[in-house]
Structure 1
Amino acid sequence: MFPVRRALATALAVLLVTGATACSDDRDGQAETVTRLDVGVVSVIDVAPLYLGISKGFFSARKLQVTPTPRQGGSVIVAAVVSGNQHIGFSNNTSLLIAASRGLPLRIVAAGNQAADGDYAAIFTRADSRISSPKDLIGKNIAVNNLNNVGPLSINAALQASGVDITKVKFVEVSFPEMGAALAQRRVDAAWAVEPFATAIKAAGGAKVVLRPYPLVAPHFPVASYFTSQSYAASDPDVVDRFRQAMNESLTYAQNHPDEIRKILPTYIDLTPEIAAGVVLPEWSTDIGAPLLQRTAKLAHEYGYLTTEPDVARLVGG
């Protein structure tokens, strides 16, 4: 490659990674700078406020052009944010705490969502199963989407609160979309599913709820957060602060307008409007929930997901 072409390619790569800006003329003839942000997300109900906030103009009002980029999971998003390939990411808090305990330089910038009551997240068994209480799960295997993560953590805590010896329960990794089939085909004894997969399992028939873990862990349990790297938070604090403001406005609006949330779900998740109308929505609040994050870290340490507890105050910017 010629030197000039190489230089142009390098410059283009830098713009894509560090956050290119776009200019538009205002009425006074002055250039107005808009910052582009690439936000890594998982295509789940929990991130609906981000999409709704974009459509309502909460981000553009703060001169931010936000593009959600779906990824497979929180660990992939963490890697992308730490490397600088994405500016901000969304992940469950257990993954963030594990990453922080390993020395990855992360900073939570806004709350993601909190667990709701009901079947927002529940352990299901077959209708003909003899499992009817948490103690019946002793000696059984439970499908979870990831081992050593928020699913097993919340289940362990709930089982302990129910007087169950967690060492006698086995977790099996199964993707959320496959859980209903795994349960019906008797490959697992029970399955921990979150919305919208919980609604899909119920809609298929032949399933019953044995345990709803989150309410037994803590009311308003903080499931996930939006985060960035410590280096980006230090180099572009104004951009991060504007994202936090817009995200907080989006979270508050989402909590107060569930009908609008349900309408936007099928625009980024493969859901029919009928299923979207019936899913149990999580809670959305601007409270990051630092005390409960500290408790989550202690539980993760107790269950062996991490060897040392991270500095939660540093993670939340304290």
Structure 2
Amino acid sequence: MIALTLVAALTSCGLLGDDTDDGNSSSGQVEKTKIKAAMLPVVDVAPFYYAIEKGYFKAEGLEVEPVEAKSGKEAIDSLINGSVDVAFASYPAPMLAQSKNAAKFTIVADGLTAKTGHIVVVAPPNSPMKKPQDAPGRKIAITAKNTFSDLAPKSVFKTLGVDYGKIQWVEMGFPEMIPAMERGDVDGAVLVEPWVTLAQKRIGAVPVVDGATGATAEMPMSGYVALAGEGKLGSTSPKTIAAFNRAMVKAQTEATDRTKMEPMFVKYAKVDQQTAPLVTLSIYPTSLQAARIQRVANLMSEFGVITGTLDVNQMLPKT
């Protein structure tokens, strides 16, 4: 479905045009100085906003303007139709598109690697689903199929010998999941932070399966991507990409300090002041490592989302 959406966007809106505009650098230090970046209101992007507030992008000769997107699909679509230059994305979306030749991407910077507690199958206290073995036959809310929302728990269920094929996956947005559990419409939900913490606070939700354990422990979850190919930023502007990456690395190096990230959670991920200190602080990588990100493509291949193999090396910036 993601690939078809991208194909439709490519057909109806056209690919990004020439990168040259009034924002191009006259000094030659970067090919493009003005960058628009599609962002989601999630904890993953806290270092991005920290980099803006601390002037790390400006120090690299970049003027970065965040453009809030309501969903991952909207972020990727805005990248394809040319309204932004970079998009924050959960890795399965661009990888699926790349595997289908619907679009080509360059991973500009790594985003977030999940620690235990970041992506969890939770259930309300009165749910009949108390342990992983109770999951078959139950309704579990996910954001979309063939994403980390179902792939991560499937991997853990597989390791535990649980028949995940009998689970009824129900698609909905994160804001809908807690009310759906309260009403009994679903027996549980696959949540990521800060929704995991919010569900625990609001309805006393309990963890059933942690999606960042076993084969998916410390799994790369998200990153920042640009379109690649003839005339596209990901292929034509290596200095710009390198500058963006350096600013992100500087911010993510400081992201181990909760006192620096929690204000970003509150301001940009819409987490309330009381919840921010409780949110699991995951890993914000400080380097792009093909072998590590390849784990995502391998997981997608394992569960039939990608046919054959996808070489993540082809998605990293050329140096």
TM-score by length of 2: 0.86
Cα distance in structure 2, aligned partners of 1:67 and 1:20:
15
User: Cα 1:23–1:101, aligned 2, differ >3 Å: closer, same or farther?
Assistant: closer
Equivalent position to 2:91, from 90, 93, 97 = 93
TM-score by length of 1: 0.86
After superposition, give the CA deviation of every residue in 1:60-87 in whole Å (9 maximum; x if it has no partner). Answer: 1111111111112223322322333211
Equivalent position to 2:220, from 205, 212, 222 = 222
Q: 1:245: how far off? A: 0.8
Name 2:195's counterpart in structure 1.
Answer: 197
After superposition, give the CA deviation of every residue in 1:122-175 in whole Å (9 maximum; x if it has no partner). Answer: 111121223221111011121011122111111110111111122111211021
* 1:18–1:87 CA contact under 8 A, matched in 2: no
User: Cα 1:22–1:113, aligned 2, differ >3 Å: closer, same or farther?
Assistant: same
User: Cα 1:213–1:269, aligned 2, differ >3 Å: closer, same or farther?
Assistant: closer
Q: Which runs of 5+ in 1 are unaligned?
A: 1-12, 25-29
Do residues 298 (structure 1) and 298 (structure 2) align? yes
Cα distance in structure 2, aligned partners of 1:220 and 1:273:
27
Corresponding residue SS for 1:210: strand
Cα distance in structure 2, aligned partners of 1:262 and 1:56:
15
Corresponding residue SS for 2:145: coil
Matches within 5 A, 1:30-179: 35-103=33-101, 104-117=103-116, 119-179=117-177
* 1:95–1:150 CA contact under 8 A, matched in 2: no
Cα distance in structure 2, aligned partners of 1:19 and 1:259:
38
After superposition, give the CA deviation of every residue in 1:9-33 in whole Å (9 maximum; x if it has no partner). Answer: xxxx989x75642899xxxxx9x99
| Partner amino acid, structure 2, of 1:172 | V
Name 1:264's counterpart in structure 2.
Answer: 264
Cα distance in structure 1, aligned partners of 2:238 and 2:25:
20
Corresponding residue SS for 2:47: helix
Q: 1:221: how far off? A: 0.9
Q: Percent identity?
A: 27
User: Cα 1:246–1:206, aligned 2, differ >3 Å: closer, same or farther?
Assistant: closer
Give the number of equivalent residue pairs.
298
User: Cα 1:135–1:20, aligned 2, differ >3 Å: closer, same or farther?
Assistant: farther
Cα distance in structure 1, aligned partners of 2:21 and 2:247:
18
Corresponding residue SS for 1:51: helix
After superposition, give the CA deviation of every residue in 1:223-282 in whole Å (9 maximum; x if it has no partner). Answer: 001111112122221111111111111111112x21111012222232221111221122
Name 2:3's counterpart in structure 1.
Answer: none
Q: Which runs of 5+ in 2 are unaligned?
A: 1-15
Name 2:274's counterpart in structure 1.
Answer: 274
